Amino acid sequence: MDFFDDDAAGTGAPPADSPSSSRSRRPERRRPNRRRTRIQRIVILAAILFVVVFALAWWARSCQQDRKVDSYRSYLEGVSVAIADSAALGKQFDQIVTNPTKFSRKELTAKLEELSAKQDEIAVRAGRLEPPGTVEDGHGVFSTGMRVRASGFELLRATMVAALGEKAVAAAKFAALAGYFSGPDAYYMDLFYAQTRKAMGDDGVSDVAVPTARYYLGWKALDRTRLTSMLDRVGSSTKLTGIHGVALAGVVATTESGEVQLVKSKTVDLPASAQLAFSVKVENQGDVAEADVAVTVTLVLPGGATLKKEGTIASIEPGKTQSVTVQGFAIPSGALSKISTLKVKAGPVTGERVLSNNSGQFKFLLQLK
């Protein structure tokens, strides 16, 4: 009852003994204050709204944090797998250095190609990982390191193939490639590992591990002492280097009149010619290709004077024959109508053990047409 209702009740009160008097003494209900009720309802709604908004904000923040954690976890799991796979390749090459002769030449070549191809695949896989925005720079260091190591494995393959081919390959040439392997790990630990841990700490991520990369920092496969031992074993193994050997297969003299086959046990007549040349045939009797096969031709003139020329055959496949032409002999007129001797030598090639069929002597008589 408001103020005005109270005044009205005081001035117009009925007598005490009247029927209405007993009714007036009953407690009267207070009329609700509508304004206060509205305010109370607003406060309650506001409180409920605040709780709802707070809960939604907390839920959204929690989901956002979960996504952030999942992003780090997924990315670093990919990094960890790439690091482990790359280290496994290094362990396989270390086994090659330890015991190269357990492979055949073909098997070793295939194994080296496999290692190179697998590191290429790892580099591609690393480049496709999607890092959180906070570690994009570090990811560039990591993926570049995997590509550098892929180049290192390819160089190892090429160097080993050269060693199998009996090229002059020293241990130092292998050892010089060490930076392609240790470098990526060093840069990773310095420019990726620490920075990624800090970025995760700033983002409130504490339950995701950052993988380390230290295997190649202590890699002993390219130790010079071990490499020297490996190359010695490779060089002494015909299983790896193959059987090497070339043989003189024949000599043909070429003049203006045509070609004449020279025979070891016979003196042949040759027409005197300013364009006299000798075509030397060489056969590869081994089971590996030979490159840069040297051929030496020495012409012994009547009286003992000598004229010497050299040639080179670029390559000869196993079981095949190749020729090289040697010319430019300035034969004096005093050698006409007299017997001259041609000494021809093919090779020897590196690793050749049988030399009895590498050379021959041929006699011929130069005559005027």
Residue 36 covered by a domain: no
Considering the entire predicted model, what is its pTM? Answer: 0.60
The reply to whether 263 and 157 lie within a common domain is no
Q: Looking at residue 339, what is its pLDDT? A: 92
Report pLDDT for 19. Answer: 52
Q: Are 229 and 252 members of one domain? A: no
* pLDDT at residue number 30: 58
Which of helix, strand or coil describes residue 272?
A: coil
Question: What Cα–Cα distance (Å) separates residue 11 from each residue in 4, 8, 15, 246, 287?
Answer: 11, 6, 12, 144, 137
Same domain, 90 and 212: yes
| Any domain includes 40 | no
Q: What is the pLDDT of residue 152?
A: 98
Residues 237 and 250 occupy one common structural domain: no
Answer yes or no: is 11 within a domain: no
Each residue of 131-179: pLDDT tens digit? 998 999 999 999 999 999 999 999 999 999 988 876 668 899 999 999 9
pLDDT score of 341: 94
Note whether 318 and 348 are same-domain residues: yes
Judge if 126 and 139 occupy the same domain: yes
Say whether both 123 and 156 belong to one domain.
Answer: yes
Number of neighbouring beta carbons within 10 Å of residue 44: 10
Chosen domain end from 181, 215, 241: 241
pLDDT at 244: 85
Q: What is the model's pLDDT at position 2?
A: 44
> Residue 95: inside a domain, yes or no?
yes
Contact 150, 123 (CB under 8 A): yes
Domain shared by 77 and 212, yes or no: yes
For the domain that residue 272 is a member of, what is the CATH number? 2.70.50.30
Does residue 43 sit within a domain? no
| Number of domains observed in the structure of the chain | 2
Are 218 and 287 found together in one domain?
Answer: no
Q: Are strands 339-346 and 258-261 parallel, antiparallel or unpaired?
A: unpaired
**3-class state of residue 205 by DSSP:** coil
Q: How far apart are CA 3 and CA 5, in angstroms?
A: 6
What distance in Å separates the CA atoms of residue 327 and residue 306, rounded to the nearest whole number? 14
In a domain, 280, yes or no: yes
pLDDT at 59: 57
Domain shared by 172 and 263, yes or no = no
Pair 305, 353 in one domain: yes
Residue 122 burial by CB count (10 A; 0-12/13-18/19+): exposed, middle or buried? buried
Domain boundary among 208, 241, 274: 241
Q: What is the pLDDT of residue 6?
A: 44
| Strand order across the beta sheet in which 290-300 lies | 267-271, 359-367, 339-346, 290-300, 306-316
Same domain, 229 and 122: yes
Which residue type, as a one-letter code, is found at position 341?
A: T
Average pLDDT across the chain, whole number: 87
* β-strands 246-255, 258-261 pairing: antiparallel
- For residue 17, the model assigns a pLDDT of 53
Please name every residue paired with 284 in a beta bridge, in sequence order, or none if there are none: 246
Query: Where a domain ends, among 184, 216, 241?
Result: 241
* 10-residue mean pLDDT series, the chain (369 residues): 43 50 54 75 78 62 69 95 98 97 92 98 97 92 97 96 78 96 97 93 90 97 96 85 90 90 92 88 91 95 92 95 93 87 94 90 87
**Structural domain boundaries, residue 274:** 246-367
